[in-house]
Amino acid sequence: MKKVFATITGIVMVAVLVVPAAQAQVATDEIKTEKLAQTGFKFLSVSVDARSAAMADAMTAAPMASSVAMFYNPAGMAWFEGNVHVAAGQTQWIADINYNIASVAFRPAGGSYGVFGLSIVSVDYGSDIIGTVRANNENGYERYEDLGLANPEPTALAIGLGYAKALSDRFSVGGNLKYARQDLGTGVVGRGDGSGLARESNDKNTLAFDFGVLYKTGFRSLNFAMSARNFSRELQYVQENFELPLSFRIGVSMDLMDFANVNRDMHSLRVVLDAERPRDYSEQLKLGGEYLFMNTLSLRAGYTFPTDEQGISLGVGLQQQFGDYGIGADYAYTTFGDYFDSVNRFALHFSF
């Protein structure tokens, strides 16, 4: 029965991964149109972990036995075997936007009750917004200081509580409930009756939910997984409603060294592949790889397609175990075409 289940699961996963790719590659003479939704709170869809970003975010089925799994597939956190895992990092995003993250996983009673987690994402958009509504002056807009207002400093924040548990030695589930808030500052708009200007608050918050499962097939190191992120209600700033960047992913991962006659303590070559269906973009394939030498040095690369501007991602990581204590550092570099600066990500993690 287990073999039948594994076979059926494998067929379904491969079909879901291959079909979108085939559709993306087929060219026709007809103009293809696709209806896509608009979303807000886009900071929730930015990759915030250096290791994951270096592998093009294809982490749904990748071994992520750490607190960082809450940002991608919470089910991966169930395989953490220590007592506590702590991670922190920064993403230097385009347009001088900075993302700062922290996460912690706690495994009480040797995992008998599962693994609990806490995650935080904080976004600093900077303070370069100096003007607002159009005006007939030399600037072309009204300056906030001329209106007696301070320049807005937009911020965003997401705090999540996660839980994951392995239901067997091959199957795990996980969820993450998060509070998300985005404050775009106080805006100034013209009144509809032409009587002057009015102030508007652009501060919204909501609850969102992530969910994931991970299945170890038992065939060497082959993993299948799926995740759904950013389930939430609709929000509204002024007139139009918008939704959070909901996305569905199915992923597969495997260590190709399973097929080589090498010392597994010396060499590992993990390949990961995700198929993603975001709410506001066409289907995407994310392909990544990680070479691990002596369980210490990692070299990573990844690519997402199709994409408008984002290019190849590269990364490196160092990790070391000192008895029951583990420490590591990761770095990722992602190109963003001709119009944006490249993105740098840094991360540190510690476990015991």
Assign residue 265 the CATH number of its domain: 2.40.160.40
- Is residue 32 one of the residues assigned to a domain? no
> Comparing C-alpha atoms, which of 122, 154, 143 is closest to residue 237?
154
- Is residue 175 one of the residues assigned to a domain? yes
- Is residue 194 one of the residues assigned to a domain? yes
- Is residue 53 one of the residues assigned to a domain? yes
For the chain, what is the domain count? 1
- Is residue 31 one of the residues assigned to a domain? no
Confidence of residue 71 (pLDDT cuts 50, 70, 90): very high
Residue 149: its pLDDT value, please?
Answer: 73
Domain of 133 in residue numbering reads as: 2-26+39-351
pLDDT in tens, 302-311: 999 998 889 9
pLDDT in tens, 19-59: 444 444 444 334 455 667 689 999 999 999 999 999 999 99
Percent of the chain with pLDDT over 90: 70
- Is residue 236 one of the residues assigned to a domain? yes
Residue 62: its pLDDT value, please?
Answer: 96
The contacts of residue 5 (CB under 8 Å, 6+ apart) are none
Backbone dihedral angles phi then psi of residue 218, each to the nearest 5 degrees: 90, -10
- Is residue 34 one of the residues assigned to a domain? no
- Is residue 33 one of the residues assigned to a domain? no
pLDDT in tens, 227-283: 999 999 999 877 788 999 999 999 999 999 999 999 988 999 999 999 999 998 899
